[in-house]
Structure 1
Amino acid sequence: MKILTIAIPSYNSMDYMRNCIESLLPGGEDVEILIVDDGSKDETPAIADEYEAKYPGIIRAIHQENGGHGEAVNAGLRNATGFFYKVVDSDDWVDAEAYQKILAFLKEAVKEEEPLDMLLSNYVYEKVGAKHKKVIQYHSILPENRYFGWEEIGHFHASQNILMHSVIYRTELLRSFQFELPKHTFYVDNIFVYWPLPYVKKMYYLDVDFYRYFIGRDDQSVNEKVMISRIDQQIRVNKIMIDLYAKHESMLSCPQLKEYMLHYLETIQMVTSVLLMKMNTSESEAMRDDLWHYLEEKSPDAYKILKSSVLGKFTKSHNKLSHKLTMGGYKIAQKWIGFN
């Protein structure tokens, strides 16, 4: 049995996918690498086939019609044979030393009578041209060197959300609730990490800088101009996350889990609202109002909490001073956290 399946969603990735794949090969026979060619128009399919031929039993090339990042993740999950499942984007890579520590731990974790649901580790913003590499870690929030549940977690700061980069899920956990991401939609990595949270019972945190998140290309999906041009998809993801929270709200008996899910939802709600504020049109104002009304309709309690927060007061308001203060805070966050 493979310990870990790693899916690499790949669309026109010929310029950087080799670096990603090469960083994963040291996992050897314990790892299954699925290169999911999502209808690429360049040399991506040929590179995927080349690696499959060179590393049989370790690498598989999956070719499909273009369905977007989410459908590539879905295809990886459908084909996964590993006990655990990880997604690594084709322009990212993993740290060699941390990778070996991750695998060593997972080899022991599969022996547990009560299976591990989610392994967390740190990730690093590998931003183009940046001297300071921002590391997102959780050692001040999560217990270390032991298994734990939601009731033992601390309070997350604004920059410390659990992202796709920081999680490895148990494969059968994802399959147990018919997990499937929407097709032809960007920013679904937020749904990927958010949806399973109510089903996660057993966790472990390794304080290693495992995932290297490459950021800074002009055509990247998280580039601010690109995000604004795809604001409809950002809103779609935001609303799906509202739906997921509302669906599970009454079942979230653990206060810490509920608090964290609200924290993550607040982050996405604020990002969407700020992008709409930056558009600064009557249409974008109407879209922002609609988003907040949607939250109020689906979860009145979440709406009450989020609108009362400092960020909520600013990003929901149409006041010019609020707009100016929000934009100033956004620029500080960009510089400090290193996104966009």
Structure 2
Amino acid sequence: MTTGAALPLLTIVVPSFNAAAYLHRAVDSLVGIGDIDVVIVDDGSTDATGVIADNFAAVHPDTIRVVHQKNGGHGAAIETGIAHARGRYLKVLDADDWLDRAALVRVLDTLRGRDAVGGIDALFTDFVHDRVGKQNRVSRFDSVFPERQVFGWNDVERFSKRQYLMMHAIIYRTALLRESGLQLPHHTFYVDNLYVIVPLARVRKMYYLPVSLYHYFIGRVGQSVEANVMLARVDQQLLVNKLALHALPSPTQVSSGEVPLALYTALLHYVEALCAVTSATLARGGTPEHLRKRQDFWAEIKRENPWVYTRMRRSFMGTSSNLPGQAGRRVTLLAYHVARRVVGFS
């Protein structure tokens, strides 16, 4: 690994599986911009993804590297990217998404300035939901974070019901990512939620730059957050939800001051939404097996963390995604569509 002054400022990891139709757009948004290190992880693709990635690396050998690996899923590709990162900071860019070039230049200028005076743990930006057949929507955090200054959790306001700090909004310090012990399940979708929660619990020194950096392309057929795909992969959602719950700091850590209350509140806000969407997805499935899994899921939360269970079930999302009976499930279905829009899955 490169050391010392030769370190690039920012590594951008591009996990890629059968992304030949999109990879050009993602990587074109990065080429020709200095002080970045691009790691394309070809996760066992069977289409032309690997060839496209290698062609990019051949043209831009000082900036772009490619790692080819046996298919392990999104989590395995992210882990590989983190392991190969040379930059002091790290951003994940899914192969079907892209970054705004002007915003990226401003992000690099900001990171450069912050790094010169001690660095930060995380930089947050706004991001754009680029929705197929619908009007784009920007997720902004100007009501939550102070702008253009280093801040801590005591300076953070509450997230609204439409504000979720998804992976698209976050750049982490690479060393913090590695120190967090982040482990992502392989052959599993929705692991980007763990990428948010596990390292974020260690973040203390932050900066918010109000630019729309990330373009989250949503609405294509077969995407992991498409409603029918989510139902088919609901067991993977359940696994990720359980791991996210286990990753939450304990109330003791909060009461002792080890974990700032505002940080815990932000993490719980995020996990509540994940659990509500999964619960409503199971209700939408509606079969006896789906409903049994939903009942078992909430019973496990109640058994392992009664306080979190009570809080979640009293929240609007928790209540509306768990109403009993046929009439209740009709309301739950409506809540499901609302929750998907709120979280950003539609």
**Normalised-by-shorter TM-score class:** over 0.9
- Name the counterpart of 1:60: 65
Q: CA deviation at 1:316?
A: 2.5
SS of equivalent to 1:104? helix
Distance 2:213 2:159 in 1: 20
TM-score by length of 1: 0.95
Q: Does 1:201 align with 2:207?
A: no
Q: CA deviation at 1:75?
A: 0.2
The C-alpha deviation readout for 1:194-229, integer Å capped at 9, x for no partner, is: 111221010000100110000111111111111101
- Name the counterpart of 1:161: 164
Task: For 1:124-203, list aligned pairs within 5 A.
Answer: 124-130=128-134, 132-203=135-206
Q: Does 1:294 align with 2:297?
A: no
- Name the counterpart of 1:118: 122
Distance 1:286 1:68 in 2: 28
Q: CA deviation at 1:337?
A: 6.8
Q: CA deviation at 1:333?
A: 5.0
Pair 1:283–1:336, CA change in 2 (3 A): closer
| One-letter amino acid of the counterpart of residue 266, structure 2 | Y
Q: Does 1:269 align with 2:263?
A: no
Structure 1 unaligned blocks of 5 or more: none
Distance 1:68 1:249 in 2: 33
The C-alpha deviation readout for 1:252-299, integer Å capped at 9, x for no partner, is: 332211211111111001000010000001111110111111211221
Distance 1:310 1:13 in 2: 37
Pair 1:127–1:66, CA change in 2 (3 A): same
Distance 1:296 1:197 in 2: 24
Taking only aligned residues, the RMSD between alpha carbons, in angstroms, comes to 1.5
Contact 1:127 1:338 in 2 (8 A): no
- Name the counterpart of 1:19: 25
SS of equivalent to 1:26? coil
Q: Does 1:46 align with 2:48?
A: no
Distance 1:74 1:64 in 2: 12
Distance 2:144 2:64 in 1: 36
Distance 2:8 2:189 in 1: 30
Contact 1:242 1:298 in 2 (8 A): no
Percent identity of equivalent pairs: 39
Q: CA deviation at 1:330?
A: 3.1
Contact 1:292 1:316 in 2 (8 A): no
- Name the counterpart of 1:76: 81
Q: Does 1:325 align with 2:328?
A: no
Q: CA deviation at 1:16?
A: 0.9
- Name the counterpart of 1:103: 108
Contact 1:27 1:103 in 2 (8 A): no
Q: Which aligned segments of 4 or more residues in structure 1 are displaced greater than 4 angstroms? A: 332-338
Contact 2:277 2:336 in 1 (8 A): no
Distance 1:248 1:56 in 2: 46
- Name the counterpart of 1:285: 291
| One-letter amino acid of the counterpart of residue 125, structure 2 | S
SS of equivalent to 1:328? helix
Pair 1:212–1:13, CA change in 2 (3 A): same
SS of equivalent to 1:56? coil
